[in-house]
Amino acid sequence: MFTWPIRVYYEDTDAGGVVFYANYLKFFERARTEMLRALGHEQDALIADYGVIFVVRSVQVDYLKPARFNELLTASARVIEAKKASLVFAQEITRGDDVLCKGIIRIACLDAGTMTPKAIPQHLLEPLKHEH
């Protein structure tokens, strides 16, 4: 499981002082992007070199406990399904041992020019398959 630290900034919170619900999706995105980076792949290079982009196809999120301004959280990402042109991630936002938010995010790989499904480059897909 890949993890990435997330600090809650004032801009992440709502009028009640807790993290605005949509910002958890941003935290999930950061973890997935940093996971790709840790595997040696930058998303802009994937577009330039292979003509592929990753897009969110669907999201299922459960909000369990609130996070607040200035807390240090951890965002995790784990591939639970890897297919030819899609990935499914199980993700969590935690504060210590407390799980604050859980999500299942389905990602599609598309041709950057036509926006139609395209196979994930094999050298990227193989390490991701071993994540689950």
User: What are the boundaries of each domain within the chain?
Assistant: 2-129
**Average pLDDT over every residue of 110-127:** 93
Q: If 0-12 CB within 10 Å is exposed, 13-18 middle and 19+ buried, where does residue 114 land?
A: exposed
Interior angle at CA 40, CA 56 and CA 118, nearest 5: 40
Our separate counts of H helices and E strands in the chain read 3, 5
- Segment 30-76, tens digit of pLDDT: 999 999 999 999 889 999 999 999 999 999 999 999 999 999 999 99
**14: annotated active-site residue:** yes
- pLDDT value at 100 more than 60: yes
Which residue is catalytic, options 14, 49, 62, 98?
Answer: 14
pTM over 0.85: yes
Q: Read off φ and ψ for residue 19, nearest 5 degrees.
A: -60, 130
Domain 2-129 grouped into CATH 2.60.40.3140: no
Query: How sure is the predictor about 126, in pLDDT bands with cuts at 50, 70 and 90?
Result: confident
